[in-house]
A and B are shown apart, each in its own frame.
Chain A
Amino acid sequence: MEIFISANLLWVLFVILISALIFFGVIFNYHWNHYGINESERKVAKVIYYFVSALILFAIVFFIGLYEFENVI
């Protein structure tokens, strides 16, 4: 059985993940700004969350590009 997954579908998945990042970013920002007790804790939380999320998303973009490039060839 052969399965073919279009690169466009993967880009749609990537857009869904970006939307999820924006959604959770808004939620976490609200919590940090309204309920966070310590200023330094807020900054550390923001940096860690966005840095790790960006790393994962860049890796996803890289592999989607690799998948699309090799399928075109």
Chain B
Amino acid sequence: MSFNLDKDENVVYEARRNWFYVWARSVTVFFSILVPIVLFAIFKSVDFIKIEGNSDALFMILILVWFFVAWNIIFIFWTNHFLDILVITNKHLIDIEQKGIFSREVSVIQLSKIQDITTDVNGFIPTIMSFGDLSIQSAGSHTRFVIKDLDNPDFVRSKIKQAISGEVPVDKQ
């Protein structure tokens, strides 16, 4: 675990963000691989630029370099996605968001200070795939704490409410 729990604190539930937007970004980057392939086809058909030696091998090398860069970009997206997690314990709500390779945000709210929990599922795809935003208003804070693109936000809200009321049996890790 990348955070420390109190002695009598146990994890009740863990929630993740939905995979849809990560897949959409990954597919976009993957299709950008078509760009060097199209450029290769254009160079082959145009006569004013000639490359000495095996031009096919050279273009394959450039395409593979592009593949390698795209692969690393896609892997960064997925690593950031898998490192994002919302942990509900019997005392706190811990939101861990990996914003970039070198950027990580951990937010902790005491369950006893939560005043209001709102879920927002907005749009065709989020409705079909049941993901949306969960926003929390805590006592003494003017700003709402928002967790975006959470899987099954209504279920997560019910888990938080049960954790607040102490009804949920605790799973020890």
Instruction: Give the interface of A toward B (CB within 8 A).
Output: 1-5, 10, 13, 17, 20, 24, 27-28, 31-32, 34-37, 41, 45, 49, 52-53, 56-57, 59-60, 63-64, 66-67, 70-71
- Provide a sorted-by-A list of 23 A–B residue pairs whose CB atoms are within 8 angstroms: A2-B51, A2-B52, A3-B50, A3-B51, A4-B52, A5-B51, A5-B58, A10-B58, A10-B61, A13-B65, A17-B68, A35-B2, A35-B96, A35-B98, A37-B14, A53-B68, A56-B64, A56-B71, A60-B65, A63-B60, A66-B57, A67-B53, A71-B54
Measured CB to CB, the closest approach of chain A to B62, in angstroms, equals 9
Question: When the two chains form the complex, which single residue of A41, A52, A67 contacts B57, counting CB atoms closer than 8 Å?
Answer: A67
A71 to B64, CA, bound (A): 20
A64 to B2, CA, bound (A): 43
Using Cβ atoms and an 8 Å threshold, which residues of chain B touch A49? Answer: 75
Q: Does B144 contact A (CB under 8 A)?
A: no
Measured CB to CB, the closest approach of chain A to B103, in angstroms, equals 12
A51 to B103, CA, bound (A): 26
Using Cβ atoms and an 8 Å threshold, which residues of chain B touch A66? Answer: 54, 57
Instruction: Give the interface of B toward A (CB within 8 A).
Output: 1-2, 14, 48-54, 57-58, 60-61, 64-65, 67-68, 71-72, 75, 78-79, 82-83, 85, 96, 98, 101, 104
A2 to B52, CA, bound (A): 7
Using Cβ atoms and an 8 Å threshold, which residues of chain B touch A56? Answer: 64, 67-68, 71
Using Cβ atoms and an 8 Å threshold, which residues of chain A touch B71? Answer: 52-53, 56
Inter-subunit contact A60/B64 (CB<8 Å): yes
Using Cβ atoms and an 8 Å threshold, which residues of chain B touch A24? Answer: 72, 75
Using Cβ atoms and an 8 Å threshold, which residues of chain A touch B48? Answer: 1
Given the contacts A3-B49, A37-B1, A45-B79, A60 and B54 also touching, CB distance less than 8 Å? no
